[in-house]
Amino acid sequence: MISLTSDVRTPFHTLPAGPKLLGLCLFTFAVFFLESIGGALAVTGLVGLSYLAGGVRFAFQGLRLMRPVFWVALIILAYHLAVGETAPGLVVALRLVAAVGLANLVTMTTRLDDMLAVVERLLTRVGMPQRTRHRIALAIALVIRFTPVLAEKGGALNEAWRARSVKRPGWRLVLPFALLAIDDADRVAEALKARGGEI
């Protein structure tokens, strides 16, 4: 499955994942207290510049990821213009773009295994027993493996419907779709048990 990590190498890729995530938490918290347009503009500009530091292609990838957020920001702005509160509206929209922008930057420059390593370290530190951690790791691996499998089976169901009906497939497909997932879960559970079980 394709993750959102960018294939363009940037200086941010080499930073360790833990501090990046901690920095993001602090930043998201701090951005919330921005009240002035100047401050909000400066912070958002800084986030934009960090994207450019990764090169033009990287910046465009980032823009694509941000598209839904820009729409929301535009709607917020339009609403505030309509009720005549332009300045606060601009601050709210910029805050949103800055917070989501930096979060996406961290996602785009941190590989999935590095993220998983941070989670593993955190869970160890809060004293989660090893057995539980192993079960979480197995569950994560199963989801990553089975999402494309289920999506493919859903596609097959869709085709089977279309071969038999002129109507568009609708919610009726969700029932057999869920049934496929349940039966897969049963089979995987049996396979795990057969290979030693007790995870």
- Tell me the C-alpha distance between 60 and 48, whole Å: 11
Nearest to 36 by CA among 90, 73, 96, 112: 90
Q: Does 7 help bind other proteins (rule: CB under 8 A)?
A: no
Amino acid letter at 159?
A: E
Under rule CB under 8 A, residue 192 binds other proteins: yes
CA-angle at 155, arms to 149 and 156, nearest 5°:
90
Give the type of residue at 192. Answer: L
Phi-psi region of 165 (alpha: psi -120 to 50; beta: other; left: phi over 0): beta
Closest CA to 120 of 17, 23, 27, 192: 17
Residue 179 is a binding residue for other proteins (CB under 8 A):
yes
Q: Which range in 7-15, 44-52, 120-128, 135-143 contacts other proteins by CB under 8 A?
A: 135-143
Report residue 74: phi and psi, to 5°: -65, -40
Q: Is 47 in the site for other proteins (CB under 8 A)?
A: no
CB of 48 to other proteins, least distance (A): 14
Residue 96 touching other proteins (CB under 8 A): yes
Decide whether 59 or 116 has the Cβ nearer to other proteins: 116
- Cβ distance to other proteins smaller for residue 38 or 68: 68
In three-state secondary structure terms, 155 is helix
Residues 104-133, one symbol each (x = binds other proteins by CB under 8 A, - = not), give x-xxx-x-x--xx--x--------------
CB of 88 to other proteins, least distance (A): 7
Q: Does 186 bind other proteins (CB under 8 A)?
A: yes
* Nearest one of 120, 103, 187, 194 to 153, comparing CA atoms: 187
Give CA–CA dist 12/10, Å, rounded: 5
Residues that bind other proteins (CB under 8 A): 1-5, 24, 28, 65-66, 68-69, 72, 76, 88, 92, 96, 99-104, 106-108, 110, 112, 115-116, 119, 135, 138-140, 142-144, 146-147, 149-151, 154-155, 158, 168-171, 174-175, 177-179, 181-182, 184-186, 188-190, 192-193, 197-199
